[in-house]
Amino acid sequence: MDIDRPLSANERIKENSRFLRGTISESLGRSETGAISDDDTQLTKFHGIYQQDDRDLRAERGKQRMEKAFSFMARMRVPGGILTPAQWLAAETVGRERANGTLRLTTRQTIQFHGILKGNLRPLMRGLHDAMLDTIAACGDVNRNVIATVDPWRRDLHAEIATLARDLSSHLLPRSKAWHEIWIGDELVSGGEIEDEPILGRTYLPRKFKIAIALPPHNDVDVLAHDLGFIAIVEDGRIVGYTVTVGGGMGMTHGETDTYPRAASVIGFCRPQDVLNVAESVVTVQRDYGDRSDRKHARLKYTIDRMGLDRFTGLVAERLSVPLEPARDYAFAAMGDRLGWAEEADGTAHYTLFVENGRVHDLPGRRLLSGLHAIAALDVGRFIITANQNLVLADIPADRRATIAGLLAEHGLDDDVSGLRRNAMACVALPTCGLALAESERYLPGLITRLEHELERFGLREDDISIRMTGCPNGCARPFMSEIGLVGRTPGVYNLYLGGAYDGRRLSKLHRKDVDGDAIVAALSPLFAAYARERTEGERFGDYVIRVGIVHETKAGLDFHENIAAEAGG
């Protein structure tokens, strides 16, 4: 590393952890508290587990001098988001028996369980393990779940990128056996000393690392939001290689202008057989040069902006077995999911099911959890989670389609949603997320209902317009990539961003600061009216607000709010 400052506390915790063991087993055995030790809370992340507390209850329990209502969130590792129906049922079972009974589909194609009490962690993990599932490296300073475009309509191409997602995930997985020892009860590897982490290193990466694979024209993964991206280049019906992107990321901190979202930079093109080598080279440069002193500047985007893209690609090139070729161009059409039925020539069908903000539970008139249980019990096809928090019921044979359509209708799942709602995402935020400054998942549906009234007035109900909300500026629902972005500031108050590209190729810009629900509707309504009146043929809302100057595009990739530091850094 070329930074001469003391290492952050997390580096010491990792170093002393004996390859991610720490004292997690001891913490689990302590019955006097629902929590685990502070250091262990950092280490369990590498096992896909976060300690949380119910923030709705925090103040009241504080008054009563009670311990916080601690529980845990666990996140599965599901490369490409693909599950068998049996695995879906296993997840549902552990969610019901060991967590709060809901499943939460995430923006990175996996499932989170919330509200797991400490004593339920091991049984939950074992339930997943029995179904050939795990939570290894779903969180922590490692390569996270690898995401990939969901496109079962193009069977062979989708199969290829899904395999690549699995291979990348396995290749970059920690070699430590700690997960199996602690959660499943495999025999202890004596002290952990015999282990090694040839790729990630003893202290793992400086920070989280994320990979996405996109299959144009679909950019459902928002490929430019990730540390490393592979954009498939298809010629004559086969993938000839991938355009490689580096340094994307969403998170920032309000008021700290040296933190910023960044759209990834294109660095070249590689052949399919070289993808693992490219990934390993980028990951190890970040391992060796990333900032281990300040976690707010530790992501790859800051490493790249600090040293410059040329030096970074030079360092990567030194580690590659085969040099990168010049980048190939690509074109994206959209980043949203195509909801509803799609049928192939042989009658095989796929159904993309809208899951509002990824929350799978039963509501009056919309019994999602029960409906999916009934469908999974038929044991046909695959359940594929999208990076937009939706679910594709894929590969349904022609003779089962009617049964599944019947189950969807019976459970109230064949509803027609507006263009805005089907292009919406909200992060989890309250009550579980410890970093939330405002509501998100519990707030956005109501706000959309209000905005739908406005859109209907101007004949825009069916138009695809993307809107994303987060409860803080960490950007978990990628709000800086959507046409309308709302980012929590304090309870009930958000910053409003506009002008992201509908295909995910341009970041949004700050339009209004500190607005509440009424002010958001008041700000957007006249823009919707003007858009309906003035748009050109096929023009997207995000492009329109840039064209007419409601917000201004500046430098590509850095066209972000008032962030002068970002421009200087680029």
Contact call for residues 291 and 303 (beta carbons, < 8 A): yes
**Span near ligand SRM by CB under 6 A; candidates 276-284, 307-315, 431-439, 525-533:** 431-439
CB of 89 to ligand SRM, least distance (A): 20
484 φ/ψ angles, rounded to the nearest 5 degrees: -125, 125
CB of 478 to ligand SRM, least distance (A): 5
Q: Which does 144 bind (CB under 5 to 8 A by kind): ligand SRM, ligand SF4, none?
A: ligand SRM
Rule CB under 6 A: is residue 125 a binding residue for ligand SRM?
no
Q: Residue 196: count other Cβ atoms within 10 Å of its Cβ.
A: 12
Question: Which one of residues 136, 327, 477, 481 is an interface residue with ligand SRM (CB under 6 A)?
Answer: 477
What residues contact 169, with CB distance under 8 A and at least 6 apart? Answer: 77, 79, 143, 145, 146
Total length of the chain? 570
Rule CB under 6 A: is residue 474 a binding residue for ligand SF4?
yes
Place of tokens 């060796």: 288
Q: Which helix (H) or strand (E) holds 9?
A: helix 9-15
- Of residues 13-42, those binding ligand SRM (CB under 6 A): none
**Span near ligand SF4 by CB under 6 A; candidates 324-332, 382-390, 464-472, 489-497:** 464-472
Q: Which does 471 bind (CB under 5 to 8 A by kind): ligand SF4, ligand SRM, none?
A: ligand SF4
- Of residues 223-252, those binding ligand SRM (CB under 6 A): 225, 249-251
CB of 486 to ligand SF4, least distance (A): 11
- Of residues 351-380, those binding ligand SRM (CB under 6 A): 358
CB of 303 to ligand SRM, least distance (A): 12
Rule CB under 6 A: is residue 50 a binding residue for ligand SRM?
yes
Q: Which does 210 bind (CB under 5 to 8 A by kind): ligand SF4, ligand SRM, none?
A: ligand SRM
Rule CB under 6 A: is residue 475 a binding residue for ligand SRM?
yes
Nearer to ligand SF4, 152 or 504 (CB): 504
**Known catalytic residues?**
75, 144, 208, 210, 427, 433, 472, 476
Rule CB under 6 A: is residue 299 a binding residue for ligand SRM?
yes
CB of 335 to ligand SF4, least distance (A): 18
| Identity of residue 554 | T
- Of residues 245-284, those binding ligand SRM (CB under 6 A): 249-251
**Span near ligand SF4 by CB under 6 A; candidates 28-36, 154-162, 471-479, 551-559:** 471-479
Contact call for residues 356 and 445 (beta carbons, < 8 A): yes
Q: Which does 299 bind (CB under 5 to 8 A by kind): ligand SRM, ligand SF4, none?
A: ligand SRM
Quick one: residue 347, left, alpha or beta (phi over 0 = left, psi -120 to 50 = alpha)? left
Q: Residue 397: count other Cβ atoms within 10 Å of its Cβ.
A: 13
Q: Per-residue b/e over 283-297, b at no fewer than 16 CB within 10 Å?
A: bbbbbebbbbeebeb
Quickly list DSSP for 307-355.
H-HHHHHHHHHHH-SSPPBPPPP----BSS---EEEE-TTS-EEEEEP-
Question: Which one of residues 95, 229, 471, 504 is an interface residue with ligand SF4 (CB under 6 A)?
Answer: 471
Q: Which does 382 bind (CB under 5 to 8 A by kind): ligand SF4, ligand SRM, none?
A: none
Among candidate residues 522, 523, 538, 543, the one with its CA nearest the CA of residue 466: 543
Question: Which one of residues 215, 476, 486, 566 is an interface residue with ligand SF4 (CB under 6 A)?
Answer: 476
Nearer to ligand SF4, 9 or 435 (CB): 435
Rule CB under 6 A: is residue 392 a binding residue for ligand SRM?
no
Q: What angle do CA 563, 477, 153 make, to 5 degrees?
A: 125
CA distances from 541 to 354, 478, 526, 528 (A): 22, 17, 13, 8
Nearer to ligand SF4, 110 or 313 (CB): 110
Rule CB under 6 A: is residue 435 a binding residue for ligand SF4?
yes
Q: How far apart are CA 561 and CA 570, in angstroms?
A: 15
Describe the strand order of the beta sheet including 484-490 as a list of residue ranges.
424-426, 467-470, 484-490, 493-498, 509-515
**Span near ligand SF4 by CB under 6 A; candidates 171-179, 348-356, 429-437, 505-513:** 429-437
Rule CB under 6 A: is residue 427 a binding residue for ligand SF4?
yes
Strand intervals (E) in 147-251: 147-148, 211-214, 228-235, 238-246
CB of 280 to ligand SF4, least distance (A): 28
Count of residues binding ligand SRM (CB under 6 A)?
A: 31
Q: How far apart are CA 37 and CA 92, in angstroms?
A: 29
Q: Which two tokens stand for residue 269?
A: 């093109």
Quickly list DSSP for 456-511.
HHTT-TTS---EEEESSTT-TT-GGGSSEEEEEEETTEEEEEE---TTS-S--EEE
CB of 554 to ligand SRM, least distance (A): 21
CB of 27 to ligand SF4, least distance (A): 24
Q: How far apart are CA 339 and CA 34, in angstroms?
A: 41
CA distances from 469 to 110, 154, 315, 503, 569 (A): 19, 31, 37, 18, 27
Rule CB under 6 A: is residue 435 a binding residue for ligand SRM?
yes
- Which stretches of the chain bind ligand SF4, using CB under 6 A? 427-429, 433, 435-436, 440, 470-472, 474-476
- Which stretches of the chain bind ligand SRM, using CB under 6 A? 50, 52, 73, 75, 106-108, 110, 112, 138, 144-145, 208, 210, 225, 249-251, 299, 358, 427-428, 432-435, 474-478
